[in-house]
Every structure is written in C-alpha cells, then in structure tokens.
Amino acid sequence: MFSKMSGNRRILILCTGNSARSQMGEGLLRAAGRGDLLVESAGVRPGSLRPEAVTVMREIGIDISAHYSKSVDQFIGQKFDYIVTVCDNARETCPIFPGDAVHIHRAFPDPPAPGEADEATTLAAFRAVRDEIREWAAEFVEEISR
C-alpha cells in the first residue's frame, strides 16, 4: 500500500489545531519507528497542546510534554516522504508540498473540546483515540519497513 523508502523517512502529520491527534501521532510514530523516522506534526490553525494528550501518552511511556503546536506554514517548502492528515479539515486545507510525498488520510475521532465533557469522559475519549492511532502507527511502520 505504501512505498518503502530508503534511509530515514520524513513524515509530517497534520491536523486542524495540532493540539491532540497529530501530537499523539507524532509521539507514537517516533516510538514505533525506533529512530528510523523523522516525524513532525503541525496544524492548519494551530492551537495549544492539550494536557489530556500529554497525560494519556505518559500512561504508555511516551513523553510529549515538550511538544508545542506548530503551524503547517513553517514546513512549506520542505520535502517529506509522507504527509499524513488525521482529520478531514486538514485534508481539505493541506497545502501542496514539493516532491513525491505519499499523501495518506486517516481520520481519527476528535476528542471532546475543553469543557464539553467531564474529566473522566474526556480522558476515556483521549485514550480511545490514542489507542486507535497507536494501532494505525504500528501497521504503518510495519508496512513501510517491508
């Protein structure tokens, strides 16, 4: 499904706010790639890193607390092997990147926004999204490593 590239592969994960799904994806792909993947994440309208994302990633031994939301604009003109959009809005508004990057769209559910649900419900939703991204990341890394 995905073409194998030689050497370290560069991956850009895009979402709307770069506050949760793309940040978790960045951490999970880095961990799954064991140093063979150069992973960045960004947002088309960056917000700020959600503390719930940090919490649920820490639960599985991945620290993303130093991550921060970045704009996709800072990556314009850079070459990537893969551009991964993790929400429909990012796919629809993703800028064009040079080269022959493989574009992948895999929408993951958006966890509740701040104040939309109680803490337990919100954390449960973040865990579910994390686990879904984790499963996808493992499959993706296996596929491109063949």
> Which residues are identified as catalytic?
15, 87, 94
Residues 6+ apart with CB under 8 A from 92: none
Tokens coding 57: 């990633």
Question: Which ranges of the chain would DSSP assign to H, the alpha helix?
Answer: 21-33, 51-58, 88-93, 119-145
Query: How many beta carbons lie within 10 A of that of residue 41, not counting itself?
Result: 28
- Alpha carbons within 13 A on the beta-carbon side of 132: 15
Query: Among candidates 33, 146, 55, which has minimal Cα distance to 10?
Result: 33
